[in-house]
Structure 1
Amino acid sequence: MTVTVWFDPSCPFTWRTSRWVKDVAGRRGEKVSWRFLSLAILNEGKEIPENYRQAHLRARAALRVLTATDGHHGQDAVDRLYAAIGKRVHDDDERLTREVLVAALAEAELPASLIEAAEDAEFDRIVRASHDEGQARVGTETGSPVIAIDDGPGFFGPVVSSVPGPEAADQLFDAMRLLSGVREFSEVKRAREPLS
């Protein structure tokens, strides 16, 4: 089984969802495939608060570095780099700056030269293609994260406010897997819990 996760590194809910996926997949020996979703692309031409717009622009630089990492070093390197970025930004409350990206590259044991991709707009084409693929798997415009199991449909979420413990994590994963197999299923939603 392969779990494909489309993510924007600036999204705190996505970070928690990604840690849930990593936990379950790691314990079950399942493969996680990392793809890119851009909230900057999603919100092009829309009225959004300036602080969100700035966060999305910083994420665009990070997505370029992640894309370069994928192209030159593969999915394991993307996994390590996203983990290093996410820990700093979402666990340690650092801003997603160039300095954070440099430190994350070092922690992930990746070449420091990858930071040059942050300013290279050529990578935006690859990010946009990945973003569009994730949106197509869901079938409607949606935010981060998007998750798909094997060749099943993509879903927005699940959005988790904190990483569930192993038993709840497994239940959630099994529910997603089961829902993925029901082509007629399209949506479930409830009030969002605060981040913890």
Structure 2
Amino acid sequence: MAEKVTLWFDTTCPFAWQTSRWIKEVEQVRDIEVEFVPMSLAVLNDGREELPSGYKEAMKAAWGPARVFAAVKTEHPDSVDALYTALGTKIHAEGRGGLKGFGAYDELIAEALAEVGLDAKYAEYANTDEWTDKLREYHQRAIDKVGDDVGTPVIQLGDTAFFGPVITRVPRGEEAGELFDAAVRLAQFPYFFEIKRSRTEDPQVRVSELSDAANA
């Protein structure tokens, strides 16, 4: 029986992207069933006036993609994986992310929707509150499982969920599977909570790596 994995993501987050591409690799070497669920850095940081102004503008931009994914997750859940790959590739692999201000991702959203064959109407939801409550609901499901002191991504393995894993490079093939096996084993121990060290590099995204994972 396939092992169920749930991954909560914010499309604009480079760390969530790397983790999601790792899971796509794991799909090739382990019997898993992955559910992608939106969460939101914009929701997570809503009302935090102490944040730097540049980061606040990035959070304004992050609302749009997250709202679109809340709508797609609700109405076309089987399309979330493909849309995340399409939009995430544009944002991260093609280097078109890091945008700021409300509506900043509108063009990329429209391109990704067309690429995966979803109705263009979903792009309209990026800049309205129609799906904001549903987005907050999806987001809260992740927070309820891991607590408040987290970011994106959140992953659930079996009955246990964690923030992370935070990786800067995507393992390939059996190495991806071995990392997954280790994560599952940690999740099985009820008294394990966290491992952490300081990062020495930012996510290293390579187009060829992502294309191979998406098309395998």
Shift of 1:42: 1.2
Gaps of 5+ in 1: none
Q: Secondary structure at the match of 1:147?
A: strand
* CA distance in 2 between partners of 1:174 and 1:27 (Å): 11
User: Is 2:143 the counterpart of 1:117?
Assistant: no
TM-score normalised by structure 1 residue count: 0.93
User: Is 2:76 the counterpart of 1:73?
Assistant: yes
Of 29, 32, 35, 1:33 maps to: 35
Match of 2:208 in 1: none
Gaps of 5+ in 2: 100-104, 205-216
Q: Is the 8 A contact 1:10 1:56 kept in 2?
A: no
Deviates more, 1:15-24 or 1:64-73: 64-73
Shift of 1:146: 0.4
* CA distance in 1 between partners of 2:172 and 2:93 (Å): 17
Shift of 1:155: 0.4
User: Is 2:179 the counterpart of 1:176?
Assistant: no
Match of 2:95 in 1: 93
Deviations 1:53-84 (A, max 9, x none): 2222222111111111122222x311111111
Of 49, 52, 57, 1:49 maps to: 52
TM-score normalised by structure 2 residue count: 0.85
* CA distance in 1 between partners of 2:12 and 2:56 (Å): 11
Deviations 1:122-145 (A, max 9, x none): 211111111111011113431000
* CA distance in 2 between partners of 1:134 and 1:140 (Å): 10
* CA distance in 1 between partners of 2:184 and 2:36 (Å): 18
Deviates more, 1:44-53 or 1:10-19: 44-53
Coordinate RMSD, CA, aligned: 1.4
Match of 2:207 in 1: none
Q: Which amino acid aligns with 1:185?
A: F
Instruction: Name the % identity.
Output: 40
* CA distance in 1 between partners of 2:17 and 2:176 (Å): 15
List, as ranges, runs of 4+ consecutive aligned residues in structure 1 with deviation greater than 4 Å.
none
* CA distance in 1 between partners of 2:126 and 2:55 (Å): 19
